[in-house]
């Protein structure tokens, strides 16, 4: 694969989702996104207004997570969070589906959960986080089928919050199930250029990482990074 590291910036959602993220760190995240040309910054919804302020007039988008990181809130609350984040300037939404419902086989409830947020998003792209580290292949497939049928913008592997991150096998499976049009976002553990390129080769069209600078510069990521 001839793609060089710097061209990977357009794949990367530059991510800061820590509970203790300060305004200084959000501003730094946005400065880095401008400098390196990342696709977006991915932040918690309360940080959307500040990120929008920092990135107005520049190319990186502001992406907000909703129902994060557990996915176990009321569907109506997730939809309302998405609505408010979009009103604040978010241009992409990453939601966590209800993992417990999926594992229990309550697929109609899972579908409705995603559909409510999708409706709230309108024309704003929705990425659906599966939390693949908690699922078997059948459950991953079921979630991807629902997402394909609803025509969401992306399926996403993981929150990166302690249940395992993206794997090449999961990215391949998700790509196979959703087909060639819907995006696949690999997140959690994508910390260097070799991993990033391997995820893209496996079918990822977006990468979520707090190690974007390390990826595009070919450096080593900080231990424990998302």
User: For the residues 36-47, what does the mean pLDDT come to?
Assistant: 97
- Residue 143: predicted pLDDT: 98
3-class secondary-structure state, position 72? coil
Q: Looking at 13, 156, 170, 192, which residue is catalytic? A: 156
What burial letters (b/e) apply to 23-54, b meaning 16+ CB within 10 Å? Answer: eeebeebbebbeebebbbbbbbbebbebbbeb
174-220 tens-digit pLDDT: 999 999 999 999 999 999 999 999 999 999 999 999 999 999 988 66
In the prediction, which pLDDT does 91 show?
A: 98
- Residue 7's pLDDT band, with cuts at 50, 70 and 90, is confident
Q: Examine residue 74 and state whether it is found in any structural domain, yes or no.
A: yes
In a domain, 226, yes or no: no
Model pTM score: 0.94
Residue 225 in any domain: the answer is no
Report the alpha-carbon distance of residue 165 to residue 115 in Å, rounded. Answer: 25
pLDDT (0 to 100) of residue 4: 64
Q: Report pLDDT digits (tens) over 62-95.
A: 999 999 999 999 999 999 999 999 999 999 999 9
Domain membership flag for residue 201: yes
Tell me, yes or no, whether 222 lies in a domain: no
Confidence band (pLDDT; 50, 70, 90) for 5?
A: low
Task: Give the tens place of pLDDT for each residue, 155-179.
Answer: 999 999 978 899 999 999 999 999 9
pLDDT tier at 2, thresholds 50, 70, 90:
very low
Domain CATH number, residue 212: 3.20.20.70
| Per annotation, catalytic residue among 39, 127, 185, 192 | 185
Instruction: Give the CA distances from residue 206 to residues 103, 174, 175, in Å, rounded to whole numbers and listed in that order.
Output: 26, 13, 12
Q: Looking at residues 46-69, what average pLDDT do you find?
A: 98
The answer to whether the beta carbons of residues 12 and 39 sit under 8 Å apart is yes
Domain span at residue 192? Answer: 5-217
pLDDT for 138:
98
CB atoms within 10 A of CB 18: 12
What percent of the chain has a predicted confidence (pLDDT) above 70?
94
Domain count, the chain: 1
Give the C-alpha separation, 198 to 33, whole Å: 22
For residue 183, is it within any domain? yes
Instruction: Assess if residue 223 is contained within a domain.
Output: no
Q: Is 156 a catalytic residue?
A: yes
Higher pLDDT, 6 or 109: 109
Distance CA(221)–CA(226), nearest Å, equals: 10
Half-sphere exposure at residue 74, Cβ-oriented, CA atoms within 13 angstroms: 4
Tell me the C-alpha distance between 17 and 94, whole Å: 12
pLDDT in the model for residue 218 = 81
Catalytic residue among 94, 113, 170, 192: 94
Q: Is residue 136 part of a domain?
A: yes
Size of the chain in residues: 226
């Amino acid at each position: 694969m001839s793609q060089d590291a710097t061209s990977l910036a357009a794949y990367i959602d530059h991510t800061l989702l820590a509970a203790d993220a300060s305004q200084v760190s959000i501003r730094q995240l946005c400065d880095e996104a401008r400098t390196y040309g990342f696709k977006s910054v991915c932040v918690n919804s309360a940080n959307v207004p500040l990120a929008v302020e920092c990135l107005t007039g520049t190319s990186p988008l502001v992406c907000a997570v909703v129902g994060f990181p557990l996915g176990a809130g009321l569907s109506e609350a997730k939809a309302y969070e998405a609505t408010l984040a979009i009103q604040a300037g978010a241009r992409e939404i990453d939601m966590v589906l209800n993992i417990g419902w999926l594992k229990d086989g309550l697929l109609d409830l899972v579908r409705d959960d995603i559909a409510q947020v999708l409706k709230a998003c309108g024309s704003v792209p929705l990425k659906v986080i599966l939390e693949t580290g908690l699922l078997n292949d059948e459950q991953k497939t079921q979630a991807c089928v629902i997402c394909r049928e609803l025509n969401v913008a992306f399926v996403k592997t993981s929150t990166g919050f302690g249940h395992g991150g993206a794997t090449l096998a999961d990215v391949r499976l998700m790509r196979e199930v959703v087909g060639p049009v819907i995006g696949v976002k690999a997140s959690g553990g994508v910390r260097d250029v070799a991993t990033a390129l391997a995820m893209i080769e496996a079918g990822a069209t977006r990468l979520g990482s707090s190690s974007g600078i390390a990826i595009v510069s070919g450096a080593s990521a900080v231990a424990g990074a998302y």
